[in-house]
A and B are shown apart, each in its own frame.
Chain A
Amino acid sequence: GAVVSQHPSWVICKSGTSVKIECRSLDFQATTMFWYRQFPKQSLMLMATSNEGSKATYEQGVEKDKFLINHASLTLSTLTVTSAHPEDSSFYICSATHPTQYFGPGTRLLVL
């Protein structure tokens, strides 16, 4: 079956630092990946659509310069949270389309 991995599974960082999260499709190629964030007891919020070989498409209200997305290959997309602040603490989940969406295990980010 289609498997999506994320790394790291959790990360704690100091305010002002940058954090990179990787999303990999392990047994299939994905031209499109999606990045979500989820706050406790809330639904998923789509942040951006990551397209291999082109710029990501960001949802309204998501800062492009703060959440950098790079989809360098058909099996890897990365999300970099730049100059992280405590309000960026959240659960970040990626998914890859094959053709329906398969979800990674998530990355829990805590910014101190």
Chain B
Amino acid sequence: ELKVEQNPLFLSMQEGKNYTIYCNYSTTSDRLYWYRQDPGKSLESLFVLLSNGAVKQEGRLMASLDTKARLSTLHITAAVHDLSATYFCAVDTPNNRKLIWGLGTSLAVNP
């Protein structure tokens, strides 16, 4: 059974500092996704990672994928208040394209 684990589940960040969120998954998957969710809102797609060694960056966020370790990281550089949200990772199941979700990481950036 494919499982996805995120850690930490909660992260209180100081403005200007760097942080990393980890996403481990249990079996082979074709794709790994990172999403952002603001309170009361739906999901915003951040990154889709398709292959081993893939690295994508957008602003202060950078995501990477190590398929051998079954690990993805979301790195936050110089955190700012606007990044406060819940971040989910999810992996694709090969046959039916269902997404298996992590529990989410709730980020709060404090001055």
Closest partner residue, chain B, to A9 (CB atom): B42
For A44, A57, A99, A105, the residue with the greatest tally of chain B CB atoms inside 10 Å of its CB is: A44
Give bound CA distance, A43 to B40, whole Å: 13
Q: Which of A43, A102, A104 contacts B88 (CB 8 A)?
A: A43
Against B, the Cβ 8 Å flags (1 = close, 0 = not) of A57-94 are 10000000000000000000000000000000000010
Number of A-B contacts (CB under 8 A): 41
Question: Please, how many residues of chain B have a CB less than 8 angstroms from a CB on the other chain?
Answer: 19
Interface size on A, residues (CB 8 A): 20
- Which of B35, B98, B103 makes the CB contact (< 8 A) with A34? B98
Contact: B42 with A102, CB < 8 Å?
Answer: no
Query: Distance in Å from the Cβ of B39 to the closest Cβ of chain A?
Result: 9
B residues with a Cβ closer than 8 A to A are 31, 33, 35, 40-43, 45, 48, 88, 96-99, 101-104, 106
8 nearest CB pairs, A to B: A106-B42, A103-B43, A105-B42, A43-B101, A43-B103, A103-B42, A44-B101, A43-B104
